[in-house]
Structure 1
Amino acid sequence: MRMKFPASVFKAFVFAGGVAATALVPLKAAADNLSDAMIGAYRTSGLLEQNRALLRAADEDVALGIARLRPVIEWTTSATHSYSRGTSQFGNFNEFTDNDIRTQLQLTQLVYDGGETRLRKEAAQELVLATRQRLISIEQQVLFAAVQAYVGVLQGQENVSLRRNNLRLLQEELKAAQDRFEVGEVTRTDVALAESRVAAARANLTDSEGTLRTARATYLQVVGHAPGSIAGQPRLPSRSASLEQAQSIALRNQPDLLAQQFSVKASDLLVQATTKALGPSVNFTARAGVGENLNESTGTSSDFTATLSLNQQLYTGGLNAATRRRAIASADAERGTLINVQRSVQQAVSAAYFNVETARATLISSAERVRASKVAFDGIREEATLGARTTLDVLQAEQEYLDAQTGQVNARADQALAAYQLLRAQGLLTAEHLGLPVEIYDPTLYYNLVKDAPAQHSKRGKDLDRVLKALGRN
């Protein structure tokens, strides 16, 4: 669900800023499924907080642009004390003291600048839209990191379980080899082979346990709390029916691509603004003042002036022309970047789409390999009890069975990661699209408060003060 504006601007924005809500509400001690991991990452990510703050800064650039179109009123009060003394040409000594107090109001209003300031404000609005898309890209990055962390813990747990079972089976084989050696059915070589495999299994188990501890630490870093009992394999998202459909979805939704499109629009507007800056500007200034000389009893004096001035820079040493050329070059660079981003998005979608297909086929093959190696292991083990197989045959069959099971675990992990990587490449790995039960951050909340550049003591300005106080920035 998306937060509505306002109802209580302060209350709504406390969570939108992501500061107070996560600090006051205790998190779950365990993540039972992938959704819980993504929820934890969404609520506690410092990277998301950083980029939400950058978006608020971009929102303020729009307010700055609007403020430059409005009059500026300044109030000045001054008290002056002057003292002088000297000798006149006739030899007379003169001493003079003067005390003045004066207050003045001045209004300055931009009347005309060819539209430069308006164009810069519109460019700031396009950059806000670009920054919103970059925030979505960061959100996808955070959620995919949660997917990787969850799958990493699950994969680590399954590998540890396999290694423990492998050690148990090898210890049984070692016991059987020792029993058969005592009755003369096998040689010391068979026992040594079994002992070697048991030692290797212990080392592999230790290595797997270390990998699992690393995965748990990564999970804690990404999600914000340690993993508990993992529910099992995550539910895979539905994918596009064809590569063409996947590409079409990405062109409409991929945030990096959309952000660059907005950046190109902003750069074009800045080119127009720098062109307008070459022309004249007109400003209106009005001053009204009241003053009083404290040394005389002449009372107060007042004055009022109004000025309409036209300014045109005739020569700036090439500064204005260079500024315009620089803006044009920057716009060309943004267009070049857009072409690169478009191609990168298409390549990423294609790679992710075929990775999903490959992972699915690999998982099917690994399941068949597990089935066949299990049948072979059971058969060879039974034949060994009858003396038709050697201890080495049994150990090799058990290793083949373990390798098949490990391959199946890795194939399941690869399939899950490939499925969510495809969502990310299409721009669909977001809390809103996935339907995560969290309060979705609404980037329009803060923008709606500041877009009209409210005065500090206006109602909206006071709302902003409460927001900043909630964020600890008052």
Structure 2
Amino acid sequence: MKVVRSITLIGVLILIGSPAIAGDLAATVRKAIEHNPDVLITQDDKRAIEQDVREAKAGYLPRVDVSAGVGGEKSDNTSTMAATGKNGYLGLHREESGIKVTQMLFDGFFTKHGVARQKGHLKAASYRVLAAGEDIGLKAAKAYLGVLQRQEQVNLAKENLAAHQRIHDQIRMRSERGVGRTADTTQAAGRLALAQANLEAQEGNLRDAQVAYVRIVGEMPVDLVLPVAPADKLAADLDALIGEARETHPVLLSAVADISATQAQHEQARANDFPRFDVELGASHNDNLDGVRGANEDLYAMLRMNYSVYRGGADLARKRSTAHRISEAKNVRARAEDQVIEEASLSWNDFITAQSRVDLLRSHADAARTTREAYVKQFNIGQRTLLDLLDTENELFSAELNYVDGKYRLLFANYRIVASKGQLLSALAVTPPEEAAAP
């Protein structure tokens, strides 16, 4: 019991301590994308890969190495024998310094394919940023509509409670005048308590919706405006939706970019099949080197070739490994395509179902309201019982709750369809994060 109270208290503190935000759906989605950790993680990943690209490009530029050293040496060689006229070690204070500039001329296309590989990763990361934005945008839309739905249902519960209160008061007055029966008063009181419990339940659902909103957006919702469904952004049919999703969904585009990256990695693994050529320029200044007193200076310019003929089979293993990486990336892309098609199909089915239900639910609610009004008149002239009147109130309340639920299901289904092809942010006129790639 203490644990439950603690959790409840934490939730209340979160809601009270969170600043409020008023605005439309686009503003809510924009706010969620700016602060959601999932989006920020993908942005940092993309920025890191940008530096990986710069690191790969460094292979085209010259390399400068500076060295220096100081210490003592003991030498026994022909030079020391000539200097001392006897065998034995000659101890000297040794100093070294040098500079070397190396420019790659040909490295078996290692650098070229390394840059292409990182650019592929960069493109994939950019699409992942966009995919994260789309995903959080849809979650924000769901939370936004959830708050609006629960607010409407709370108002319905209040109206239902008010109706039960009127009936209860009416029955109690009749009973006090000796016209009504005590059982009617008891039954009306019981239904009034149920109506109060229904209001409590709907208010609890509203608080849950607000918590979900705060978790996604980071701020409390205030004065939310009912959005207009993006009907002009919907596809003509399921086949058209799947076709668009294949072309524009960022998850699928990211998987395609990853294939390019692994193909470049495979080509990079073949670099050791070729010799490497570098131009090397160097200079050195040494003192007391190898037992010879005095300065020892060098200046040189060299064309160097290095060809690794055999490295224990490591080069062959790496080529085989990267070939499997290409196959893996293609299978990941195939899996992503299946997931995109599945989500598009599910979102379309959800839309069709919600669209066919909403008019029926509205008709049911209208009929229940008309019936309620007729029953009230008939009850007042004794043609309907109290039970009839109370039942029709509950029927109306249930019908209107179902209609509100169906209405918001249809509205969310519109946004889900747009998101299933990766176009939710553009439909809401929300600018994607700067790090995101535009499909």
TM range (shorter): 0.7 to 0.9
More helix by share: 2
- One-letter code aligned to 2:329: E
Offset from partner CA, 1:50-107 (integer Å, 9 cap, x none): 211100111112112111232211111222244799xx9xxx9999653233321112
Question: Contact 2:129 / 2:433 at 8 angstroms: preserved in 1?
Answer: no
Offset from partner CA, 1:411-449 (integer Å, 9 cap, x none): 12111211111111111012x45323x6x533389xxxx
Cross-structure match for 1:75:
66
Shift of residue 263 of structure 1?
A: 1.0
User: 2-side partners of 1:204 and 1:58: how far apart?
Assistant: 53
- One-letter code aligned to 2:126: R
Cross-structure match for 1:262:
257
Aligned counterpart in structure 2 of residue 275 of structure 1, from 270, 278, 282: 270
User: 1-side partners of 2:113 and 2:56: how far apart?
Assistant: 9
Aligned counterpart in structure 2 of residue 123 of structure 1, from 117, 120, 128: 117
Q: Secondary structure at the match of 1:68?
A: helix
Cross-structure match for 2:7:
none
* 170 and 318 in structure 1: CA distance in 2 versus 1, 3 angstrom threshold: same
Once the two structures are superposed, the pairs formed by residues 316-355 of structure 1 within 5 Å of their partners are 316-355=311-350
Once the two structures are superposed, the pairs formed by residues 9-24 of structure 1 within 5 Å of their partners are none
Q: Which has the larger displacement, 284-293 or 43-52?
A: 284-293
User: 1-side partners of 2:386 and 2:280: how far apart?
Assistant: 101
User: 2-side partners of 1:36 and 1:55: how far apart?
Assistant: 25
Cross-structure match for 1:388:
383
User: 2-side partners of 1:406 and 1:172: how far apart?
Assistant: 21
Q: Which has the larger displacement, 404-413 or 176-185?
A: 176-185
- One-letter code aligned to 2:104: L
Q: Secondary structure at the match of 1:277?
A: helix
Please tell me whether residue 181 in structure 1 is matched to residue 175 in structure 2: yes
- One-letter code aligned to 2:48: A
Cross-structure match for 2:434:
442
Cross-structure match for 2:139:
145
- One-letter code aligned to 1:102: E
* 32 and 70 in structure 1: CA distance in 2 versus 1, 3 angstrom threshold: closer
Q: Which has the larger displacement, 360-369 or 403-412?
A: 360-369
| TM-score normalised per structure 1 | 0.79
Shift of residue 130 of structure 1?
A: 0.9
Cross-structure match for 2:420:
425
Question: Contact 2:126 / 2:436 at 8 angstroms: preserved in 1?
Answer: no
- One-letter code aligned to 2:39: L
Aligned counterpart in structure 2 of residue 57 of structure 1, from 31, 36, 48: 48
Shift of residue 128 of structure 1?
A: 0.8
Offset from partner CA, 1:86-141 (integer Å, 9 cap, x none): xx9xxx99996532333211123333332133112111111111111111000001
Q: Secondary structure at the match of 1:325?
A: helix
User: 2-side partners of 1:327 and 1:97: how far apart?
Assistant: 54
Cross-structure match for 2:284:
289
Please tell me whether residue 235 in structure 1 is matched to residue 228 in structure 2: yes
User: 2-side partners of 1:372 and 1:211: how far apart?
Assistant: 26
User: 1-side partners of 2:222 and 2:434: how far apart?
Assistant: 31
User: 1-side partners of 2:54 and 2:73: how far apart?
Assistant: 43
Question: Contact 2:129 / 2:436 at 8 angstroms: preserved in 1?
Answer: no
Aligned counterpart in structure 2 of residue 369 of structure 1, from 359, 364, 371: 364
Aligned counterpart in structure 2 of residue 43 of structure 1, from 14, 19, 34: 34
Q: Secondary structure at the match of 1:227?
A: strand
Once the two structures are superposed, the pairs formed by residues 96-135 of structure 1 within 5 Å of their partners are 98-135=92-129
Cross-structure match for 1:20:
none
Cross-structure match for 1:253:
248
Cross-structure match for 1:30:
21
| TM-score normalised per structure 2 | 0.85
* 84 and 413 in structure 1: CA distance in 2 versus 1, 3 angstrom threshold: same
Q: Secondary structure at the match of 2:22?
A: coil
- One-letter code aligned to 2:245: A
Q: Which runs of 5+ in 2 are unaligned?
A: 1-17
Once the two structures are superposed, the pairs formed by residues 150-165 of structure 1 within 5 Å of their partners are 150-165=144-159
Shift of residue 290 of structure 1?
A: 1.6
* 433 and 182 in structure 1: CA distance in 2 versus 1, 3 angstrom threshold: closer
User: 1-side partners of 2:222 and 2:113: how far apart?
Assistant: 54
Offset from partner CA, 1:392-423 (integer Å, 9 cap, x none): 11111011100111011111211121111111
Offset from partner CA, 1:296-349 (integer Å, 9 cap, x none): 997643112444443343443332222221211121121122222222222222
Shift of residue 28 of structure 1?
A: 8.3
* 161 and 96 in structure 1: CA distance in 2 versus 1, 3 angstrom threshold: same
Tell me how many residue pairs correspond in the alignment. Answer: 409
User: 1-side partners of 2:112 and 2:242: how far apart?
Assistant: 37
- One-letter code aligned to 2:127: Q
- One-letter code aligned to 2:149: Q
User: 1-side partners of 2:167 and 2:375: how far apart?
Assistant: 12
Once the two structures are superposed, the pairs formed by residues 88-99 of structure 1 within 5 Å of their partners are 98-99=92-93
User: 2-side partners of 1:291 and 1:96: how far apart?
Assistant: 17
Question: Contact 2:130 / 2:433 at 8 angstroms: preserved in 1?
Answer: no
Q: Which has the larger displacement, 259-268 or 334-343?
A: 334-343
User: 2-side partners of 1:261 and 1:130: how far apart?
Assistant: 8
User: 2-side partners of 1:299 and 1:83: how far apart?
Assistant: 15
Q: Secondary structure at the match of 2:270?
A: helix
* 80 and 433 in structure 1: CA distance in 2 versus 1, 3 angstrom threshold: farther
User: 2-side partners of 1:309 and 1:132: how far apart?
Assistant: 40
Q: Which runs of 5+ in 1 are unaligned?
A: 1-26, 446-474
User: 2-side partners of 1:297 and 1:267: how far apart?
Assistant: 55
- One-letter code aligned to 1:330: R
Identity %: 23
Please tell me whether residue 210 in structure 1 is matched to residue 201 in structure 2: no
Shift of residue 259 of structure 1?
A: 0.7
Please provide the CA RMSD for this pair.
Answer: 2.9
User: 2-side partners of 1:93 and 1:347: how far apart?
Assistant: 86
- One-letter code aligned to 2:46: L
Cross-structure match for 1:224:
218
Aligned counterpart in structure 2 of residue 412 of structure 1, from 404, 407, 432: 407
